[in-house]
Amino acid sequence: MPPNDAPSAILLVDDDPQITRSLGQWLELSDFIVQVASSADEAEAIMESGKPIDVVLSDVRMPGRDGLDLLRALRQRDTGLPVVMLSGHADVPMAVEALKAGAFDFLTKPADPERVVTVLRNAAAQSRLRRRVAALEARLSETDTLENRLIGHSPAMAAVREQVAALASLPIDVILVGETGTGKEVVAEALHAASGRPGRFVAVNCAAIPADIFESELFGHESGAFTGAREKRVGKLEYASGGTLLLDEIESMPLAAQGKILRVLQERTIERLGSNRAIPVDLRVIAATKTDLRAAAASSQFRLDLYYRLAGVELHLPPLRERRDDIPLLFQVFASRMAERAGRKAPQADELLHVALRDNDWPGNVRELRRAAERFALGLDPGVGTREPVLTPPAGREGGLAEQVARFEAEVIREALHKAGGSIAVVVEALGIPRRTLNEKMQRHGIRRDENAGD
C-alpha cells in the first residue's frame, strides 16, 4: 500500500486521444499518477494486471462496450472502487442510471478541470481509506501488535504507541490519564500484552463496586468471614497475580480501601478477609483516571501517598478532537467490525460524512465514535449531521447536469421516504437499490430519515 502522501493513481478511460492527452496532462500536473485506456476491455485488462488504481475516470460513450457497461463490471469486481463517469451529453436519465449503478459521481464535458480534480481527490481519499481498513483488519486477524491495538496514524497516537512500547516490559506501575472514552482500558490491555507477563489482565472498575463489598471483591475472603460468606473466594488482586491489574476510575475508590491498596503496593502481599495468612502477589498495577489525582488529594478526596506510589509513570491519552485525522479510519474499522458481527457487508462512508465526523466535537471520544460507526454499519442514522453538498456546476453553465442530477436524485429519495413513512426497507425495495447505496446517498445529500416520514 502506498504511503498516505503518495500520489493517487487514476485510470483514465476514453477513446478520444485528445481528451486523454489534455486531461491526463492536467491530472499529472495536479499530482496524480495517470494510467490511460482507450476502451472498456483495455481498462479491465489494466485492472486485472494488478496495477494499483485508486479511482477510475471513464467516458460514457465509447465504441464497443460503453462506460456504463465498464462501470457495472468494475463494481462487480470491486464494489469499493470509486468510478467517476464523464459524458459529453447532458443526459439526466443517463446520469441517474450511472449513479444507481454505483458511480461515485457524474461529470459533463467540457469538464471544469478544478471540479474534476476535487472529485477525484475525494474519491481517492475514500478508496485509500477503504484499503487501509482492509489491510488493518487483515493484520488484526494474523498478529497482535501495538499498531493493531492502538489504531491511528496521527502524531498523538504515534507518541502513545512509543510510550507504551518503552514502558511495557519495565517493572513499574503506570497511571493512565484521559477523558471518558479515550481508550484507557485498551491502552492498559496493550501494555499488558506487550509486557510478556504470563498472568491474566484483570480490570476492576472502582466506580462500579459498592463500598460495602469493595474489600471482599479485591482481597477475597475465607469461608465464614462474614454473614453470607459460605465459600472461600479469591479476590481480584490474587486472581491477577503474575499478570496486570487495572484499577479503572481509581478516583472513585473509597478512602478506607485506598489505605489497604497502598499497603499491597508496598508489601506485594494480601490477606483475605477472615484470614491472617499473608499471600504474596506479583502484580503490575495500572491505574486509570479522568481526573487530576493531585488536585483530588489536595481536596482530601484521594490519598496523596497512594498517588505517589502509583505514579511511577503518568501517561496522558489524547481526546479524539486532538487526533481528528484518525477519525475516518477508526470509524470505518468500527463499522467493519460491527458489519462482520451482524453478517452484513460493511458500508463505506462518503466524503460528506468524513467531513462531518472530523467536525464533530466527540465529547464521548472513541467510545462515542464507536457507537456512531456501529449504527452506520447497521443501516441506522449515525447521529452525525452532514453538511449540504456544495455542487459547483461547470464554468459558464448555471445549473449544469451535476446540479440537476443531484437535485433530482435527492428529491426522488425524499419523496420515496415520505411515501414509505420513513421506512428504509420500503424505500430500498421501491427504488431497487442496495440499502448501503441508499444510506450513502442520503449521507451525500444530507437527508435524514426522520425529516421525511409521512404525516
Region of poorest pLDDT, from 2-16, 98-112, 165-179, 267-281 = 2-16
Average confidence (pLDDT) over 32-56? 90
Residue 4 has pLDDT above 60, yes or no: no
**Residue-level pLDDT at 388:** 42
Average confidence (pLDDT) over 245-272? 92
Residue 414 has pLDDT above 90, yes or no: no
At 94, give phi and psi (nearest 5°): -65, -40
Contact 1, 135 (CB under 8 A): yes
**Residue-level pLDDT at 318:** 95
**Residue-level pLDDT at 92:** 75
Question: What's the chain's average pLDDT?
Answer: 84
Residue 248 has pLDDT above 80, yes or no: yes
Residue 451 has pLDDT above 80, yes or no: no
Most confident of 228-237, 332-341, 407-416: 332-341
**Residue-level pLDDT at 90:** 61
**Residue-level pLDDT at 394:** 41
Q: What pLDDT, in 10s, does the model give residues 368-383?
A: 999 999 999 988 888 8
**Residue-level pLDDT at 386:** 52
Average confidence (pLDDT) over 36-60? 90
Q: What pLDDT, in 10s, does the model give residues 63-89?
A: 888 899 999 999 888 877 889 988 877
Tell me the CA distances in angstroms from 270 to 113, 184, 190, 202, 276, one per residue in order. Answer: 72, 26, 26, 16, 10
Share of the chain above pLDDT 90, in %: 37
Q: What pLDDT, in 10s, does the model give residues 333-357?
A: 899 889 888 888 878 777 778 888 8
* pTM (predicted TM-score): 0.60
**Residue-level pLDDT at 247:** 96
Q: What pLDDT, in 10s, does the model give residues 88-143?
A: 776 677 888 888 888 888 888 777 888 888 889 888 887 777 776 665 555 554 44
Average confidence (pLDDT) over 220-226? 78
Contact 243, 261 (CB under 8 A): no
Q: In terms of pLDDT, which residue wins out, 177 or 152?
A: 177
Q: Which domains does the chain have, with CATH numbers?
A: 8-141 (3.40.50.2300), 155-320 (3.40.50.300), 323-451 (no CATH)
CA distance 47 to 53: 7
**Residue-level pLDDT at 396:** 42
**Residue-level pLDDT at 400:** 56
